Structure 1
């Protein structure tokens, strides 16, 4: 992991109450105080105060905001304060989202429907790639950061590295890229795709605005470079590169096999329960749907609504919290909760709303009970994620 220092760039110095607030927060964090509060009216420079604390503490930092607009504003401010460090933006990537639901009173099933914003998806993936590759990272996120992501261990383990002079067959390199969910497209070159031109392989990482070119001489990597994905022009030559997965949800092939066995076992138990209760329609519905999903998982490693099987795919026990953005951070990170009088109640309410909707789906045979573990963190789980939290509010 690359070691760098946080370096605050500003033409202003702390003034008014800011120096005392900065000193008090830094002392509290260094003495192991778990929760602190930073209060100040709008326009009092709370973001600048937070930036000074980050520079003093020198720890990876997560800043939580209660909506995308405020998160974008904070992201812009922190980018200007820390131009030499990794400042990232992590919010929900949906432009439109209709969750899966069932209304029993009217017998209406609503299928999940969503439209994904490609640029926000790139920024989310850039957040996790920064966290696993360097330690001078600030991530500005919305409350959606408490929802399940992928396993950070799988994400790091499946990274593909390449170094100048490395011996590797071209076909082996291509297989590795496919394993981490990159797709070959020799005509339309875009994010999450790679193309092959003789002994030259070009990859556009899911989290970058540039692409990589790997030039082979036989089975040896002859040259590595950063290129403009539009023109193909070489921008910079490199000694080594690291390519992280195209998506957050990646896993080794053998994990899918064990997950399929666990899904089938759970299906048998739930079908027996439905039949004992005389719920034959629900049993038939669940059996048909789950068998289709299992076949898709075995054939292509994916199925619609695959996140509902995340407990089995990740090998978690019933009730265990999902992996989230918080698990990509080291244990000792700094958390700021902006507008905490709004953000904290949001965190508290999310688990209950998600549970209510999914319980209806489970009761009527649309999902297995394990779908309940595809969920956001509970408030208590969220509280336990950070050792040093600062709640920022303009409201006492």
Structure 2
């Protein structure tokens, strides 16, 4: 009995030790290739954000490559993290689990021709890619194809090409409902460039279920859980529609309803926006107001407490004259890709009191902060590791992380 008990105790110790080893193997030590010290990470101006890796456009897709959109994906089997980086030539997939040892897994060519505009979103381990290239439609790519490859990089083909529409400027997805909304499609088509309703619950068999006739340059689609109880549980789409923001109820795809719209002063081009996590406010970027109105980077904040009666809340002015492009909310931070000024990290916790505070930045375009279309196109701040993806028009992929104190 004593010997048996001792044997079981030894087995428990060995078992625990094995688990600890496995856990240690799974943990990736993240070391920056350049810490943010004295205002710089290598050649790049910064504040409180370190550089974890940088992969050039030549490395991503060869010569004469220009960067644009990006997104992220986490493999549900391995927990590996990937950057999905769009260029004028197509879409690249890069394993950034250990950013200092990032690996370009493969490349998916544009379906038709090269274009400066290509955008991607992810749903249920599939990437959905659109472009302003003529007749491009929507490429559908199973991201599980990235797993376990040895001879990399691979030239991939799409798992499905969905061609019920031609070009699109962007695509947004509501992951709760499994609907994709291509936006900025042809103005001469049925919905005049308004959001299309594509059911992607079966990614291999997408179904076109109509659209909303109101041109949208960009949008966000959510299952609403905010303060306006009239719309609880409804699918709400917020369109950034060139000259105004439009709020629509798209729950019934056969009968979408415009709820309200709101404009603002000194309009340049109503470009892109994002809800705060409590759905009380909508944070908007206007892409041309800095250039056309002579403003510093302006962020417009709306009070969406009552979706039927949206109100202008306040404007936040950034420290440079750079043009803001795409911005996303995570917790109480707003991550803003601001072209020549790189990515700005803005504390929005005092939004009720009409006060934002910049708490960090990483400038991927060190030449200047001019009002020009160079530098950071997009930022993706949602990886579980806390690492942040930046896609840059001129310099490709950056992965950054908040500096350790």
Could you tell me the TM-score, scaled by structure 1's length? 0.25
Could you tell me the TM-score, scaled by structure 2's length? 0.25
Greater relative contact order (CA < 8 Å, ≥ 6 in sequence): 1
Normalized per residue, which structure has more strand?
2
